[in-house]
Amino acid sequence: MLKRNVKISEYELPLKIEPQKKGGYVVVCTKWSDCYAQGDSIDEAILEVTAVAQSLIELYEEEGLKIPLKLQNRKGKSSLTVPVIVAS
């Protein structure tokens, strides 16, 4: 069995949920303009944007770019945040 050290990072992903006139939802990360998704339900849209965030984090790390998300959870915030966990 191959052992590998895995670094786990947890990021806050502040989201804005926008219902669409023709149905469905668009979810936009308020701190990262590249990170957005849509879905038929709020749950689906959040799952999609989480997957987008995971892919973007991996890409940004590979390219040596700064990830515009916070690594620590801050208590007492009034906005919606979703943890994004990435293994690298």
User: How far from each other are the two terminal CA atoms of the chain, in whole angstroms?
Assistant: 19
What is the pLDDT at residue 9?
Answer: 77
Return the pLDDT at 81. 63
Rounded CA-CA distance 31/24 in Å is 22
Q: What's the token pair of residue 64?
A: 């040596």
pLDDT one digit per residue (tens) for the chain, 88 residues: 666 766 677 888 999 999 999 999 999 999 999 999 999 999 999 999 999 999 999 999 999 999 998 876 445 444 556 677 665 5
Q: Determine whether 15 is exposed, middle or buried from the number of CB atoms within 10 Å of its CB (0-12, 13-18, 19+).
A: buried
pLDDT for the residue numbered 77: 47
Domains along the sequence of the chain with CATH = 8-87 (3.30.160.250)
Q: What is the pLDDT of residue 3?
A: 67
